[in-house]
Structure 1
């Protein structure tokens, strides 16, 4: 099973290499270049200037090439300069994997346990304490902090890292922080500082947005990276999946022909990663691992998948150094293109595509689409090969693809996705005039009006546009408003057990394994159909609930998943999410004014009613 083979538990036991592979092993010598440490990063030369600039300015923009040390070192400099005396130093990341890994790295450098002086907070996971002085978190977590404490009284510095990602939440944070300083709230601490950091972002407009604030540039890059166009795909290939086979070909050639160093491969999502791993595994030899975990490896190559739906402990395995003589190959989504640093990476294979969330106003749905990356994103990926030594970036596309298909920057998420969740958050923050809110780039007014209409239909806001009690309850959940509304309907009927498993399953990536081989594909589809029939052929929601319940009640959940071609890793994540959502419901039900309803009917009918309450826009008349 591809999903299980990709999860490496412990380093393999060494065995004597065969003579046929001796030439390859000879190449796997440790390079002479000394790996950089935090002591010799380019940012060190700017330490005094940076600290003084933060002291002197409410807003500051820090830019510098990938690998300059912005993410790990600046929070430490500010802590050592005494900023934490006035509150926590908060650092945001667009993705939870980056927030966790950077927090671990900084905790190691500061010789403290994770969760004490240095901690992190991501969705469904809080590893921080009262003593935490440097707190890494996702931008969504900071936004939720502001819902409870709009003036950020517990923070002394807010660092918005990886600003070039321009996520929907980051753009809203830009506006909220600007508004916080404009209004001069009496509760806001005078020493609160905001730092915006990015390796690749349009600086003039961002500086003007924050009142022409100063920009500090950190010059230099640690190690040079050679860039190679492999010319395997061109502009005509941007609509098909030929890039997967091209990525596999380049990866194998790197392993067989290049000197020592680990490989980082960029693909679009879980299914492409699993397919790529399977293609690599087809060329593999089986080697046994301790603790009954098995993997496959091309001689000397350890293949590790990485995507957002993987459990945290599985994701952390990519940071473990491989055994001597073994080359690590991480096959990842775009989460590895930001602050995530994997030591030993010398070769990057850039697939040239990314999954992008786009809103279809006609259907009223957000849809994930595979699109070419931007040139700035390509440069960000290239920088991954030069973090700890000199490296090479292999771009599988050609120069024409670069010129014709790749924009300079990606369109910000705020201009291409549904704004319903964000508008609800702004309403909960008592920002009623959402059209005149200070956006860095103003979204289409139609998207704002569509979000307001949807929230009104959900009873989250009233006719005057003010948030309702139900809307405040909906904002407690880190889920889409549609799904949250369905959960609250089920909770009011005291049947949240019906909806929480479905909500948890919808919060992780697809649980269905779809193997590439025709024989295995038929078997997998048969198993999936069996599960659907057990759900009474009702719909996909009921099928997800059946999978959740049967796996959880099985005496051997991993074996059950293997038999039914279901991703065990995704189910583990869903179990954790379900527990967190249940705790939110428990707290809400303790409130005396929580709505209560009753309905006598079969289980399927109650489920239909709850789903229709949340997904009423998806209902059609037959």
Structure 2
């Protein structure tokens, strides 16, 4: 449009609003759109709302679809014209969406893409669905493409930072042995530029992705799913698809949302393949076989609303006056247990009362673009008048990981392996950068331990506060971050988030109903007490050795993650709270601090004392016979399961080692008695 950003055209994201009263076209995230509806249910300042990337089925987008479906038309709540809603999707089932939106018309816009040849490479099958065999397979496939295919860049899809670093490491080592005089079919290809791409990378490294490679050098980008939807890399002719992605799923084992590695859907696979046909004809090499495609990959991505916590959006719906959240018009209805679990958590955080009605505190909580638990802790600190302690912590927990932990050779250098054109001195230099990795890792580890020690060495939350304050007080925050192996971009974002949260809190504290309390104690104790208000659902008690047991009713065994400043101090701990978990062969808790039992003693009963069906605010006389039968069936099934568990425990007790030993002794005694009786 030829205008300056922030005037006629602007944008709004979670912690940044670049618009004015004169803005005509506004780009925003689905979360921000949801918050707009909180303040203006009929969206009077908008004439058209365009929802893009609906096929990604994010939680907020699905809720928006339900709300926009019910948006008042002309003449209602001050609207002079009906709101127009345009829904855009690359792969979604259009017929289903059209029916949901009242049989709205469907328009198909053909894309400007070149043909892409899709190949199944048969390197993995359904048996490799679990495990990480696909990492080695994509490395092999990428090298095969490099040596056998014509010039053109390669885009490799993996699931996360650690995998990408591992794959780049393997590519670097194998590419060193290529003799470009004999091993490469296309003689114009004389080198390989290996570049990683993931969300937490420093900005300057991300920019290298879009720069053209030197003449004769093939670029190989190893990326997360960010390269499938959020950006386009020119020059890519070849896709190597691992067939996996990291996806947020609710883990019933720990009662929390966990990032799991799962097979992608067929629609995602098609979208990945399409990245090879943006500028010229291309090829997509799928490392999996046709059986994996048919048996392990769903047609479409499971909507986020059917696999993650609904706590935040249920509170939003409640504040919008949608009391019957079970019967809300969802495009795909979530499991009832997810809705009831969200209601239970909102009650535990005092956001709703026992009848499911929003409390004063709940209406304060919905103003913050934070998870409810973190918001509850922040509001507790504000009530005590010590928000300056909690605000930086909330900000630090709202941005990407701040710690730089060198994982491979390219963390500070772009690696180019060009046998025929690069001088041996340069090649040797890169070799030493690669070999110097352990020293870099050790240096970062020592620096992070020093930062933990400055914060007392026994509280990860306090460590985040310490880093925030030390960096902001330094003369050169960027240099301070680099010296201490901290991501400056993440820390800079935290400074901005803290400012935004402070503004929201200042506005809310002007209200007459804002709670006020008093407390005297040290900064560390004050912080931990505030955290208990929001994280008492994440409480664990040491059970044996270095293991802890969660107190949320799941009774999961968890361990402190090695990245925590409390790792190795387990014997001195009794009760802890934690921010999140990482599930591998074990369940690890991260961002941990010790607490006293009396701080959560009055809170823990709330984890078990409420009937979630009361919280759903569905009048019993409005409940259909079918729903009552379903609820009763669930209760009977639960009772049967508990009975089976009791029987199983009894069986386990009978079969444990001591019981077997005792039984064997009794058998031998009876045998001896019979022998003595026979020969007496």
State the TM-score bracket (shorter-chain normalisation): 0.7 to 0.9
Aligned to 1:495: 386
Indicate the SS of the match to 1:217: coil
Q: CA distance change for structure 1 residues 591 and 501 in 2, over 3 Å: closer, same or farther?
A: same
* Equivalent position to 1:120, from 2, 8, 11: 11
Asked if 1:346 is matched to 2:240, the reply is no
In the TM superposition, 1:233-312 aligns within 5 A as 233-255=124-146, 257-279=148-170, 303-309=194-200
Residue by residue over 1:422-458, the C-alpha shift from the partner in whole angstroms, topping out at 9 and shown as x without a partner, is: 0111112121111111111111222212211211221
Aligned to 2:113: 222
* Equivalent position to 2:320, from 429, 432, 443: 429
Asked if 1:111 is matched to 2:2, the reply is yes
* Equivalent position to 2:46, from 140, 149, 155: 155
Contact 1:341 1:384 survives alignment (8 Å): yes
Contact 2:190 2:216 survives alignment (8 Å): no
Q: What CA distance in whole angstroms lies between the structure 1 residues aligned with 2:166 and 2:469?
A: 27
Q: What CA distance in whole angstroms lies between the structure 2 residues aligned with 1:409 and 1:203?
A: 12
Aligned to 2:56: 165
Contact 2:51 2:86 survives alignment (8 Å): yes
Q: CA distance change for structure 1 residues 589 and 302 in 2, over 3 Å: closer, same or farther?
A: farther
Contact 1:366 1:418 survives alignment (8 Å): yes
Q: What CA distance in whole angstroms lies between the structure 2 residues aligned with 1:268 and 1:254?
A: 20
Residue by residue over 1:144-202, the C-alpha shift from the partner in whole angstroms, topping out at 9 and shown as x without a partner, is: 11111111111111111111111111110111011225898443443311121112112
Q: What CA distance in whole angstroms lies between the structure 2 residues aligned with 1:434 and 1:312?
A: 41
Asked if 1:604 is matched to 2:505, the reply is no
In the TM superposition, 1:93-104 aligns within 5 A as none
Q: What CA distance in whole angstroms lies between the structure 2 residues aligned with 1:314 and 1:150?
A: 42
Q: CA distance change for structure 1 residues 349 and 271 in 2, over 3 Å: closer, same or farther?
A: same
Q: What CA distance in whole angstroms lies between the structure 2 residues aligned with 1:299 and 1:546?
A: 49
What is the TM-score normalised by the length of structure 2?
Answer: 0.67
Contact 1:309 1:573 survives alignment (8 Å): no
Q: CA distance change for structure 1 residues 133 and 511 in 2, over 3 Å: closer, same or farther?
A: same
> How many Å apart are 1:328 and its aligned residue?
4.7
Residue by residue over 1:327-352, the C-alpha shift from the partner in whole angstroms, topping out at 9 and shown as x without a partner, is: 55443322232253333332323222
Aligned to 1:207: 98
Q: CA distance change for structure 1 residues 354 and 445 in 2, over 3 Å: closer, same or farther?
A: same
> How many Å apart are 1:142 and its aligned residue?
0.9
Structure with the bigger RCO (C-alpha within 8 Å, sep 6+) is 1
In the TM superposition, 1:125-524 aligns within 5 A as 125-181=16-72, 185-219=76-110, 222-255=113-146, 257-279=148-170, 303-309=194-200, 318-319=209-210, 327-338=218-229, 340-361=231-252, 363-512=254-403, 513=405, 515=407, 521=441, 523-524=443-444
Q: CA distance change for structure 1 residues 264 and 126 in 2, over 3 Å: closer, same or farther?
A: farther
Q: CA distance change for structure 1 residues 148 and 304 in 2, over 3 Å: closer, same or farther?
A: farther
Contact 1:162 1:339 survives alignment (8 Å): no
Q: CA distance change for structure 1 residues 519 and 319 in 2, over 3 Å: closer, same or farther?
A: closer
Indicate the SS of the match to 1:229: strand
What is the TM-score normalised by the length of structure 1?
Answer: 0.73
Structure 1: gaps spanning 5 or more residues: 1-109, 286-297
Structure 1, 166-175 or 223-232: larger mean CA deviation:
223-232
> How many Å apart are 1:485 and its aligned residue?
0.8
Contact 1:490 1:610 survives alignment (8 Å): yes
* Equivalent position to 2:492, from 572, 576, 583: 572
Indicate the SS of the match to 2:88: strand
Aligned to 1:532: 452
Q: What CA distance in whole angstroms lies between the structure 1 residues aligned with 2:343 and 2:308?
A: 14
Indicate the SS of the match to 1:453: helix
Indicate the SS of the match to 2:317: helix
Indicate the SS of the match to 1:477: coil
Contact 1:300 1:326 survives alignment (8 Å): yes
Q: What CA distance in whole angstroms lies between the structure 2 residues aligned with 1:282 and 1:548?
A: 38
Q: What CA distance in whole angstroms lies between the structure 2 residues aligned with 1:314 and 1:597?
A: 47
- Structure number with larger C-alpha Rg: 2
Contact 2:74 2:82 survives alignment (8 Å): no
Structure 1, 174-183 or 141-150: larger mean CA deviation:
174-183
Aligned to 1:83: none
What is the root-mean-square deviation of aligned Cα atoms in Å? 3.1
Residue by residue over 1:270-316, the C-alpha shift from the partner in whole angstroms, topping out at 9 and shown as x without a partner, is: 3333444455566799xxxxxxxxxxxx9765555443445778756
Q: What CA distance in whole angstroms lies between the structure 1 residues aligned with 2:370 and 2:379?
A: 12
Residue by residue over 1:486-520, the C-alpha shift from the partner in whole angstroms, topping out at 9 and shown as x without a partner, is: 11111222222222222222222333315256665
Contact 2:48 2:86 survives alignment (8 Å): yes
